[in-house]
């Protein structure tokens, strides 16, 4: 047998190295699509075979969820329940499941999260052309129609409210939808993905770009896009609720969209924003809204009693307070803040 010359061996080795390097360093481009759904800019990014089909299907699924869950769409499950004036209405099992979860978080948060805030949401109209500061009488009369204990859920899919009550699942629907989309993408064989529903972020699978996922958290006092800091995680959800999302200003006061079911007004709990890091996005979404209303002391106590859930609170007096599990996983970038752990 002819022994290959040194040059041929060297060339062969070089080719092996180049091919191996290309395979190891190959970072396939994801498939990414954006759309405006559920009142927000949605972005779905997926890596893996089948992503070309799975990503548009995920956006279609999201539109279908919006059709069922939006209080503003006439034929939605929520709108039908709200029009029924205290009579029972049958809803899809998905809506029933979500409502069950909403009621669970209402109990867990002592009513700070309340899916029957609809009458107050309508009254204030925050984020709509009709936004205004209502009179005390109006607020009191809307408050009489807010109480999650009035919701009855039979057999998982028949819903009945007290007469006059109005459901609003806006504080939990995006988180629920993100979980549904993740499960669907995984079933379609997607290895890794990122679901961004207007800043509600859910990531799954390994980060194809290497290392952990790094998720930016919005700085509540900078205009959109300003970063407060970065959370690192292997997979899971990062959801933020804050006063910067939807609000109007009158006479120097900011009226934002997170309402306190105890007062009937935008929550004034000393916070500007709350971020929750959790395995699932439904719990993250429900909890950010609840924790914002509860404020730092009650909120951190609730979080520290929940397995696998971490939170970050931004206070009006310039502190960023982390639950212990976020220490070392959050890097502060915003200027003028003091970082604490509790
Ligand atoms: P989020 O941005 O997740 O905090 O949700 C805010 C949205 O949830 C509002 O636009 C309302 O539709 C609804 N909402 C406001 N206050 C509450 C509350 N205390 N409990 C449940 N939902 C609320
Ligand atoms: Mg929420």
What's the 327 CA to ligand 1 centre distance in angstroms?
A: 28
pLDDT at 224: 67
pLDDT tens track of the chain, all 342 residues?
455 566 665 555 555 555 554 444 455 789 999 999 999 999 999 999 999 999 999 999 999 999 999 988 999 999 999 999 989 999 999 999 999 999 999 999 999 999 999 999 999 999 899 999 999 999 999 999 999 999 999 988 999 999 999 999 999 999 999 999 999 999 999 999 999 999 899 999 999 999 999 999 999 998 667 899 999 999 999 999 998 888 888 888 889 999 999 999 999 999 999 999 999 999 999 999 999 999 999 999 999 999 999 999 999 999 999 999 999 999 999 989 999 999
Q: Using CB atoms within 10 A of its CB, is residue 17 exposed (0-12), middle (13-18) or buried (19+)?
A: exposed
Which residue, by CA, sits nearest to atom 15 of ligand 1?
Answer: 258
Give the separation between CA 242 and CA 329, rounded to whole angstroms.
Answer: 21
Q: In 10 A of CB 135, how many CB atoms?
A: 10
Ligand 2: distance of its center to the CA of 1 in Å?
73
Residue located nearest, by CA, to atom 2 of ligand 1: 241
State how far the Cα of 88 lies from the Cα of 106, in Å rounded to an integer: 21
Residue closest to 234 by CA, chosen among 329, 111, 307: 329
If you measure from the C-alpha of residue 259 to the centroid of ligand 1, how many angstroms do you get, rounded to a whole number? 7
Q: Find, among 294, 53, 43, the residue nearest to 311 by Cα.
A: 294
The angle formed by the CA atoms of residues 136, 149 and 114, to the nearest 5 degrees, is: 60
Whose alpha carbon is nearest atom 10 of ligand 1?
Answer: 257
At residue 24, the pLDDT reads 46
Residue 22: what pLDDT? Answer: 46
Distance of alpha carbon 206 from alpha carbon 135, whole angstroms: 52
Cα of 242 vs centre of ligand 2, distance in Å, is: 9
Q: Does residue 256's CB lie within 6 angstroms of at least one atom of ligand 1?
A: no
Ligand 1 atom 14: residue of nearest CA: 171
Q: Is 215 in the pocket of ligand 1 (CB under 6 A)?
A: no
- Distance from C-alpha of 9 to C-alpha of 316, rounded to nearest angstrom: 68
Separation CA 90–CA 81 (nearest Å) = 8
Query: What pLDDT shows up at residue 4?
Result: 58
The size of the chain, in residues, is 342
pLDDT computed for residue 146 by the predictor: 98
| pLDDT in the model for residue 156 | 83
Q: Is 105 helix (H, G, I), strand (E, B) or coil?
A: helix
Among protein residues, the one with the nearest Cα to ligand 1's atom 4 is 289
DSSP character string of 9-77? HHHHHHHHHHHHHHHHH--PPPEEEEEEETTEEEEEEEESTTHHHHHHHHHHHHHHHHHHH-TTSTTSH
For residue 111, the 8-state DSSP code is T
Q: Using most ligand atoms within 8 A of CB, pick from 108, 171, 261 the residue to mutate for ligand 1.
A: 171
- Residue showing tokens 């529903």: 197
Task: Check pocket membership of 261 for ligand 1, CB cut-off 6 A.
Answer: yes
d(CA 139, CA 145): 10
Cα dihedral 77, 147, 290, 235, rounded to 10, equals -30
What is the C-alpha to C-alpha distance for residues 59 and 37, in angstroms, rounded to an integer?
Answer: 8
| 78, 82, 117, best to mutate for ligand 1 pocket (most atoms within 8 Å of CB) | 117
**What CA–CA distance (Å, rounded) separates 327 from 342?**
10
């Amino acid at each position: 047998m002819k022994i290959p010359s040194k040059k041929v061996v060297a060339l062969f080795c070089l080719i092996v190295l180049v091919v191996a390097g290309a395979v190891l360093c190959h970072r396939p481009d994801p498939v990414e699509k954006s759309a405006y759904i559920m009142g927000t800019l949605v972005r779905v990014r997926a890596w893996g075979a089948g992503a070309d089909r799975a990503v548009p299907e995920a956006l279609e699924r999201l539109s279908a969820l919006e059709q069922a869950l939006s209080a503003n769409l006439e034929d939605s499950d929520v709108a039908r329940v709200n029009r029924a004036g205290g009579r029972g209405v049958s809803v899809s099992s998905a809506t029933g499941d979500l409502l069950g979860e909403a009621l669970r978080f209402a109990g867990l948060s002592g009513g700070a999260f309340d899916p029957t805030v609809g009458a107050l949401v309508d009254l204030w109209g925050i984020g709509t052309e009709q936004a205004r500061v209502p009179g005390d009488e109006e607020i009191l009369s809307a408050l009489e129609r807010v109480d999650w204990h009035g919701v009855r859920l039979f057999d998982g899919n028949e819903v009945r409210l007290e007469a006059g009550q109005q459901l609003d699942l806006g504080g939990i629907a995006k988180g629920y939808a993100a979980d549904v989309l993740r499960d669907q993408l995984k079933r379609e064989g997607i290895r890794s993905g990122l679901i961004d529903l207007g800043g509600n972020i859910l990531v799954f699978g390994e980060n194809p770009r290497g290392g952990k996922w790094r998720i930016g958290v919005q700085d509540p006092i900078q205009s959109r896009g300003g970063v407060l800091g970065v959370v690192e995680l292997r997979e899971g959800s990062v959801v933020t609720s804050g006063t910067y999302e939807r609000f109007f200003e009158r006479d120097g006061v900011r009226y934002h969209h997170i309402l306190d079911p105890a007062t009937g007004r935008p929550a004034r709990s000393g916070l500007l924003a709350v971020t929750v890091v959790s395995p699932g996005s439904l719990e993250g979404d429900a909890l950010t809204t609840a924790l914002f209303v509860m404020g730092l002391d009650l909120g951190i106590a609730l979080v520290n009693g929940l397995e696998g859930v971490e939170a970050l609170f931004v206070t009006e007096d310039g502190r960023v307070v982390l639950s212990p599990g976020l220490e070392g996983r959050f890097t502060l970038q915003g200027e003028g803040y003091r970082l604490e752990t509790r």
